[in-house]
């Protein structure tokens, strides 16, 4: 009986806030699993395979560029506190490993503008300029990794798609912190061009 009472007390304490009993809300880290498509579950499940296949090709194409960025291109470099703080960021995209012959194994794009914001209680990531603009939500996963689900906005489009509307535009990946104020969004098996896309984010 004492054990049961102790468990009940702990449960009530966990549910209380400012002295009042609150309904337990669904944790954000469970939500992305409920809405992720089968295609994107496979992408996220096979993230390491994407690195293993894409990184050697990128190194062969431009070893100096890969080496110059240090931890950015190393797959196991998560430092904790993966959720980027809200604010404006500079961001740049790298494409690693060609999907087919005739395409480049390493492409580096210039810096653009990104923003970490909020949609209700869910953090969001929006790339503000450039011809390919990911936009989507960020879901808590672990301290070392958070999940991004979004869609790709192209060209002069002004209304972004919601995740799940077009499988060819859907994007699924994860965000990690790889430096004091340096994050990366890793997108394994993107629909177009490469085997792995990586977007670096640093505060503007």
DSSP string, 61-97: H-HHHHHHTGGGG-SS---S--SPPSEEEEEEEEEEE
Angstrom distances, CA of residue 151 to CA of 3, 125, 170, 181: 49, 11, 4, 25
pLDDT for res 193: 86
> How far is the C-alpha of 88 from the C-alpha of 128, rounded, in Å?
10
- Note whether 201 and 84 are within 8 A (CB): yes
User: What tokens appear for 40 in the block?
Assistant: 């994107």
> How far is the C-alpha of 23 from the C-alpha of 15, rounded, in Å?
7
CA neighbor of 29 nearest in space, from 141, 133, 121, 130: 141
Q: What's the whole-number average pLDDT of the chain?
A: 85
> Which residues touch 100 (CB under 8 Å, ≥6 apart)?
none
- Note whether 48 and 195 are within 8 A (CB): no
Residues of the chain with pLDDT under 50: 1-28
Q: Which residue has the tokens 């409920």?
A: 34
pLDDT for res 2: 40
pLDDT for res 24: 32
In this predicted model, what pLDDT tens digit does every residue of 186-196 receive, in sequence order?
999 998 889 99
In this predicted model, what pLDDT tens digit does every residue of 39-70 receive, in sequence order?
999 999 999 999 999 999 999 999 999 999 99
- Note whether 171 and 179 are within 8 A (CB): no
CA neighbor of 123 nearest in space, from 31, 39, 23: 31
Q: What is the pTM of this model?
A: 0.82
> How far is the C-alpha of 89 from the C-alpha of 114, rounded, in Å?
5
pLDDT for res 188: 96
CA neighbor of 199 nearest in space, from 72, 64, 55: 72
DSSP string, 123-157: EEEEE-SSSEEEEEEEEE--SS-EEEEEEEEETT-
């Amino acid at each position: 009986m004492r054990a049961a009472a102790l468990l009940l007390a702990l449960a009530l304490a966990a549910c209380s806030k400012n002295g009042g009993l609150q309904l337990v809300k669904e944790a954000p880290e469970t939500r992305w699993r409920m809405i992720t498509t089968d295609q994107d579950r496979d992408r996220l499940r096979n993230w390491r395979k994407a690195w293993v296949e894409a990184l050697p090709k990128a190194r062969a194409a431009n070893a100096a560029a890969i080496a110059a960025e240090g931890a950015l291109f190393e797959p196991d470099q998560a430092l904790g506190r993966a959720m980027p703080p809200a604010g404006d960021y500079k961001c740049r995209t790298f494409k690693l490993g060609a999907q087919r012959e005739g395409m480049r194994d390493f492409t580096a794009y210039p810096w653009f503008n990104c923003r970490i914001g909020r949609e209700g209680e869910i953090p969001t990531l929006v790339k503000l300029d450039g011809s390919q603009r990911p936009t989507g939500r960020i879901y808590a996963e672990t301290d070392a990794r958070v999940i991004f689900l979004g869609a790709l906005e192209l060209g002069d489009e002004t209304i972004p798609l919601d995740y799940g509307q077009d499988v060819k535009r859907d994007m699924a990946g994860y965000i990690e912190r790889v430096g004091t104020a340096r994050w990366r969004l890793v997108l394994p098996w993107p629909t177009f061009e490469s085997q792995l896309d990586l977007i670096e984010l640093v505060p503007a």
